[in-house]
Amino acid sequence: MSVDEIRTSKADELRIVNKPLARHDAAEKIAGTTRYAGDLAFEGMLHARLVRAQVPSARLTRRDVTTARGLPGVVAVLLGEDVPNNEISVDVPGQTIAVGALKARMQVLATERVRFHGEPIALVVAEHEDALAAACEAVEIEYEDLPVVSDPEQALAEGAFAVHEGGNLLAEWNIDLGDVDGSFARADVIVEGEYRTQFVDHAYLEPEAGVSWIDDDGVLNLRVATQVVEHYRDIAKILGVPDSKVRVIAPYVGGGFGGKEDMTVEPYLAIATSHTRRPVRMQWTRNESLLARAKRHRNHMRYRTAAASDGTILAQDIEIVSDAGAYAYLSALVLLYSSVHACGPYRVQNARIRAKTAYTNNPPTSAFRGFGGMQVVLGYESQMDELAKKLGIDPGEIRKRNALRRGDRLPVGQEIITEVQLAQTIDAVRERAGEKPEPSGPRLAVGRAIASNMQSYGRLVWLNDSAAAWIGFQMDGSLTIRCAVPDIGGGQASSLAQISSEVLGVDMDRITVHFGDSALNPLAGTTTATRQLLMSGNATYEAAVMLRDQVLAAVAEETGQPVEALSLTPDGITGPDRTVSVTLALQICRRRNVPVEALGTFFGPKGKEVTRELQGERLFPDFTFGTHLADVEVDLDTGQVKVLRYIASHDVGRAINPLSVEGQITGAAVQGLGQALLEEIVMQDGVNLTGGFFQYLIPTAMDVPDIEAIVLESGEGLGPFGARGIGEPPIGPPLAVISSAIADAVGARPTTLPITPERVLECVERGSR
């Protein structure tokens, strides 16, 4: 089955799908019995910790582990020289091509040079956790400081110190469509803006953790908090062993958001266990997580937008520079997302987009919910509001006039193939909101704004994505699903049970999903890029349909009823003449040599490998559209912003589980509000000043209002039953909607995130002039 087959469903014909069911994993989580990656312990288990660089940019002149190795309880202290292949490949797992700069590497343990504050240099393994701290301190490291490159624009300037050999430009993408200069010359109105987003941390509640051991069969097992079990291949490469000798198990993960997409503890657990032949646990501290794990890219964006007097966008001229940090990770791809999403959900016939990402000595930057497609929302939606204001057109109306429709093409050339309900989401949030409230006191101002967005779901088409799932009936009629999908809290495994229940008529409490195991389950790819419902969801759907058809065909032959008259229901296989119980039907299958299991493999759409000049290409499977509305109250004396009301609407095609969909929308909106108003990884000359939750502030329950989610269902998408992905899309609009609502309240627009009280007061002052 091709991904291009648009799937649809009618809500009133669904039995289990589209119902707001408590997830099958919820009861154990609430009972406190779910064992996360750090919750497993073995007899004789060792503990491991990393010695990390104290400085952001230096040559390592001395690494002496003699004293540390001699301390009581210390089993091993390992350096880069002790790692069989001391290199972490950051090719996207499963990727079948490497495009120049996209293939960039870092060392497992640095041997000659460090490039960011917190980079791993040595690995200490000890009998007891208590021995770790002393041993880490006893590792003697001497540095010869090198220049620190702390800003991507400085990094790209002539004569800048090279963070890596070959220069600081890691990747660039260009999009050219139509006649941009001519359009600007003809324009009735031009709006210019400059926008800056900040480094942000994922701040999931579960810091990176895992346990490793060697089984009787000699296979190295890692049970780790990860979004990608397929990293077993990267681990095998580091150890120099065949891929089949490494197994990664992902238990329920305590939040991912992209931060557990790249490897974290895996290489270190692998070398520790492989060296000592004993079980090892590694638990990163929150400080390590904040210092050293990759962040969201900060983007510097310059927008020039040309429009006609009726609000029609004539052209976009956009420059983006992002901070790739010290190592490549996924920066090139994140920037590609920024480039392709840069014009937003609007028809743009003329566009010039210039995007660059540069190495610095800041922490590495990589995947984070929204993956480059979200920073640009601040750019294009701020421009849209300024345009509306200049032309005296209603902000909703100007968006509707320019909204993409099915059949339109993005500036990159990709055609929109499914229905777009952007206008409906605008109407939905405004209808719900009613009248703008009055300020609750003197020296307070209220502002309201909307912001729309689009975000892709599914991986880049030239990555040749695929996912597999296996479903088997047990002879008592219960169901076993095997699919190596990592469940990071979004209900990834539970959705598969719901889809199978719908097709096979088995009640949810009789279905077990075995997930997140690279050795025992069919591989389903990464839980990233809002792809699992599309990919493992479709694979499961296909397996379920195959299995249903096998069983129905066997019963049809056995009972002499036409197969098209039979259906599989919770009561059995019902037909015009006779109903057969599921257990009997399975016995019939056995007798007739008909398998009672099926393997579904789903292949994503294909596309050509991209080059630096992007044009005429389909890059993504499809997109999800939405609109948010916020009312804010600004204290004109203190700059404090209170979000009074927040409404978020997205078309999800078909909600497999409406509770999970609402959970994604409310959670992403609040995470986006954190980026808009509170959060920033603060760097000073390469030194990270935000090493704990006292410095890095994420929203508490007091900082945010209820999020009113309005789920629209066009009934159309590329996922099973017409579902679209919703994991990432709702995180983009908060950046713009808060900025625009503040602008509405005080008369001047904040353009740099986070919008701190100081920045609000600057706007109050500018607005009152």
678 binds other proteins (CB under 8 A): no
**Binding segment (CB under 8 A) for other proteins, from list 414-422, 473-481, 579-587, 656-664:** 656-664
Instruction: Collect all residues with Cβ–Cβ distance below 8 Å to 414 and sequence separation of at least 6.
Output: 340, 617, 618, 619, 620
Helix (H) or strand (E) holding 452: strand 444-457
The helix (run of H) or strand (run of E) holding residue 334 is: helix 331-341
Cis peptide bond N-terminal to 754, omega within 30: yes
Q: How many residues does the chain have?
A: 769
| Nearer of residues 205 and 758 to other proteins, judged by Cβ | 205
Q: Considering only CA atoms, which of 294, 279, 272 is closest in space to residue 49?
A: 272
**SS3 state at 458:** coil
Instruction: State the CB neighbour count (10 A cutoff) for residue 44.
Output: 8
| Of the candidates 425, 423, 418, 448, the residue with the CA atom closest to the CA atom of residue 346 | 423
Nearer to other proteins, 25 or 744 (CB): 25
Task: Name the minimum Å distance from CB 66 to other proteins.
Answer: 19
**73 lies in the binding site for other proteins (CB under 8 A):** yes
Interface with other proteins (CB under 8 A), residue from 29, 347, 354, 510 = 29
Nearer to other proteins, 440 or 581 (CB): 440
Is 704 one of the binding residues for other proteins (CB under 8 A)? yes
- Give min distance, CB of 269 to other proteins, in A: 17
**In whole angstroms, how close is the CB of 446 to other proteins at the nearest point?**
19
Exposed, middle or buried: residue 10 (CB in 10 Å: 0-12, 13-18, 19+)? exposed
Task: Choose one: 107-115, 440-448, 621-629, 686-694; the region binding other proteins (CB under 8 A).
Answer: 686-694
Q: In whole angstroms, what is the distance from residue 257 CA to residue 371 CA?
A: 10
Q: Cα-flanking dihedrals φ and ψ of residue 96, to 5°?
A: -105, 0
- Asked whether position 22 contacts other proteins by CB under 8 A, the answer is yes
Find the DSSP H helices in 635-732. Answer: 658-677
Q: In 547-688, where do the E strands start and end?
A: 567-569, 572-574, 597-603, 613-614, 622-635, 641-651, 683-684, 687-688
Segment interacting with other proteins, rule: CB under 8 A, options 1-9, 296-304, 484-492, 622-630: 484-492
CB of 141 to other proteins, least distance (A): 22
Q: Which of 452, 532, 660, 740 binds other proteins (CB under 8 A)?
A: 660
**Contact range with other proteins by CB under 8 A, out of 28-36, 78-86, 458-466, 717-725:** 28-36
Cα 80 to the center of its chain, rounded Å? 31
x-marked contacts with other proteins along 541-560 as a string, rule CB under 8 A: --------------------
Kindly tell me which of 418 and 666 has the beta carbon lying closer to other proteins.
666
Stretch of 8-16, 92-100, 216-224, 657-665 contacting other proteins, by CB under 8 A = 657-665
CB 296 within 8 A of CB 325: no
Residues 469 and 598: their CA atoms lie apart, in Å, by 8
Alpha carbon distance 316, 350 (integer Å)? 7
Pick the piece of the chain touching other proteins (CB under 8 A) from 122-130, 272-280, 397-405, 462-470. Answer: 122-130
C-alpha separations of 603 from 465, 472, 483, 525, 728 in Å: 6, 21, 15, 11, 21
Site for other proteins (CB under 8 A): which residue of 10, 15, 59, 128? 128
Query: Does 754 interact with other proteins (rule: CB under 8 A)?
Result: no
Find the shortest distance in angstroms from Cβ 111 to other proteins. Answer: 29
Among 38, 80, 311, 516, binds other proteins (CB under 8 A): 38
Asked whether the beta carbons of 327 and 113 are under 8 A apart, the reply is: no
Judged by beta carbon, residue 395 or residue 667, the one nearer other proteins is 667
Decide if 731 contacts 369 (C-beta within 8 A): yes
- Sole window of 90-98, 384-392, 536-544, 699-707 interacting with other proteins (rule: CB under 8 A): 699-707
Strands 641-651 and 707-712: parallel
| Closest CB to other proteins among residues 33, 593 | 33
Asked whether the beta carbons of 607 and 614 are under 8 A apart, the reply is no
**Comparison of 38 and 639: residue with beta carbon closer to other proteins:** 38
663 touching other proteins, by CB under 8 A: yes
Cα angle 564, 567, 572 (rounded to 5 degrees) comes to 145
Phi then psi for residue 476, to 5 deg, are -90, 5
CB of 160 or CB of 229, closer to other proteins:
229
Task: For other proteins, give the closer residue by CB, 149 or 513.
Answer: 513
Q: Which is nearer to other proteins, 472 or 658 (CB)?
A: 658
16 vs 110, which CB is nearer to other proteins? 16
Query: Which neighbouring-strand residues pair with 627?
Result: 452, 649
Determine which residue in the list 253, 320, 450, 647 makes contact with other proteins, applying CB under 8 A.
253
The amino acid at residue 138 is A
Residue 35 interacting with other proteins (CB under 8 A): yes
CA distance 199 to 363: 9
| Min separation Cβ 697 and other proteins, Å | 10
Query: How far apart are CB 134 and other proteins at their closest, in Å?
Result: 8
> Which one, 467 or 669, has the nearer CB to other proteins?
669
440 counts as binding other proteins under rule CB under 8 A: no
Contact assessment for residue 396 and residue 388, using Cβ atoms and an 8 Å cutoff: no
Q: Which of 7, 23, 399, 645 binds other proteins (CB under 8 A)?
A: 23
Note whether 720 and 600 are within 8 A (CB). Answer: no
Cβ distance 481 to 512 under 8 Å?
yes
Interaction mask 287-326, other proteins, x per CB under 8 A: x---------------------------------------
185 binding other proteins? (CB under 8 A):
no
Give me the residues that bind other proteins (CB under 8 A), please: 22-23, 25-27, 29-36, 38-39, 41, 72-73, 126-131, 134, 202-207, 252-257, 283, 285-287, 488-491, 659-660, 662-663, 666-671, 692-694, 698, 700-702, 704, 706-707
